[in-house]
Structure 1
Amino acid sequence: MSEGQYSFSLTTFSPSGKLVQIEYALNRVQQGAPALGIKAKNGVVLAAEKKLPTPLLEGETISKVDTFTPSVGCVFAGMPADFRVVLKKGRKELYQVDPSGAYFGWKASAIGRDMQNAKTFLEKRYTPEIELEDAIHTAILTLREGFEGALTEKSIEIGIIGEDRKFRVLTPAEIKDYLSEVEVGTA
């Protein structure tokens, strides 16, 4: 029998023992635009590539990094609606939740397209003593590793939560300043 007959429900196993809908969701995440998180000594950084599916779409209406409460933020790869159901409480922690509901605490992680290369890059750059500012720079450098074209303040999003426990998404002007700092630092 075809796996398609068993793809109508999240809890229906196929004859081979697979939850087909979960596999579809996991594959969709792996094909999504890169997104990452870094837990710093004094905060957490979330960043994502912001790729518009068509040039006709208003870029300001699409958000990959979002604030849910004053102390909780989220970044996602895959389908936008799926990530909204997983947040419960906020603190300076970094969790990765996959479509099956499994979650893990991380010091730094990446999801989406080229996630293995991004994770390898993060493993080389991450230290437990990393400060928030350095984590922002590391996030930009990690996104740049797998990015096609030039990074701009319009092509990425960055959110941070610091010692004040208030999550906020950086403005395009702030991102532009960080991009300039990274360019100077790598020149």
Structure 2
Amino acid sequence: MTDFALTTFSSKGKLLQIEYALNAVAKGDTAIGIKAKNGVVLVVEKKQSSILIEESSVQKIASLTDNIAATYAGLGPDFRVLSQQARKLVKKYDLKYQEEIFVQTLSRELAEDVQIATQRGGIRPFGVSILIAGYDEEGPHLVQLDPSGAYYSWKATAIGKQAKNAKAFLEKRYNADMEIEDAINTALLTLKEGFEGQITPTNIEVGVIRDDHVFRILPPSQVKDYLEELE
């Protein structure tokens, strides 16, 4: 029964419910983020469980503000809840300070909400890891937030079922001097390396923020052009 006790540590000093949440993340679609000198790119698998599902109804990248967006690996409904919470934090910050929230500030405040879910009875940890990408006055940012409430800034990272192999691939390919176009190609190449089946413009999603501070999800036609460059 201790497996179900959220606030009870195991004999190995672990909270087992968080371990289970991380297992849910490890089974999720792979998502990759890369920070370049002049922007950030997010690339994520978008495979449907059935051919009967409308492709347009599946969105893996969510805009939190004009200059901040996020994607995830794990439970989609949990990500939806946290996305809504993030937008509330943005509004609250704007009303209080009359300025745009910084990426690190939003990440920290959202991480606090995630961490609270690990220590209260009657609720469970969020079964999702999130990649937050944004561009503010301090430059481009890529942050990973995990079910424990831990969050870290990354130069490049991956979450989901192919995370381990993708990170190993990124360690060989990443260059701190790369521009955003190189980052897009590197992210697509990394995802393609461990992709099951044929990668197409409709079963992945690509989001990019450049130094104009506007996050955009690339249309399938543009994703197709990038994929053809890899062949």
Residue aligning to 1:40? 36
Contact 1:44 1:93 in 2 (8 A): yes
Residue identity opposite 1:113 in structure 2: K
How far off is 1:56 after superposition?
1.9
Counterpart contact for 1:33–1:112, Cα < 8 Å = yes
Q: Does 1:3 align with 2:51?
A: no
1:102 counterpart residue number? 150
Q: Give the alignment of 1:125-164 within 5 angstroms.
A: 125-164=173-212
| Alignment correspondent of 2:23 | 27
Alignment match of 1:81 (pick from 77, 81, 86): 77
Cross-structure match for 2:221: 173
Between the aligned partners of 1:107 and 1:125, the Cα distance in structure 2 is 12
C-alpha distance in 1, partners of 2:36/2:57? 29
By how many angstroms is 1:15 displaced? 4.5
Q: Aligned partners of 1:59, 1:13: CA distance in 2, in Å?
A: 42
How many residue pairs match? The answer is 178
**Partners of 2:46 and 2:189 in 1: CA distance:** 15
In the TM superposition, what is the alpha-carbon distance from 1:150 to its structure 2 partner? 1.2
Taking only aligned residues, the RMSD between alpha carbons, in angstroms, comes to 1.6
> SS where residue 77 of structure 1 aligns?
strand
Offset of 1:51 from its aligned partner? 1.1
Alpha-carbon distance, 1:73 to partner: 0.8
Summarize the alignment of residues 57-72 of structure 1 with structure 2, pairs less than 5 Å apart: 57-72=53-68
Identity percentage of aligned residues: 52
Residue-by-residue CA offset, 1:38-85 (whole Å, 9 max, x unaligned): 000100000001111222211211111221210011111001233352
- Contact map agreement 1:67 1:169 (CA 8 A) in 2: no
- The amino acid across from 1:3 in the alignment is T
Distance (Å, rounded) in 1 between the aligned partners of 2:212 and 2:33: 18
Q: Does 1:55 align with 2:51?
A: yes
Q: Aligned equivalents of 2:39 and 2:203: distance in 1?
A: 23
TM-score under structure 2 length normalisation: 0.73
Q: Distance in 2 between matches of 1:134 and 1:65?
A: 20
8 Å CA contact retained: 2:4, 2:17 = no
User: Retained in 2: the 8 A contact 1:66–1:159?
Assistant: no
Q: Please, which runs of 5 or more residues in structure 1 have no aligned partner? A: none
Q: For the structure 1 residues 117 and 15, does the alpha-carbon distance in structure 2 shift closer, same or farther, using more than 3 Å as the test?
A: closer
SS at match of 1:81: helix
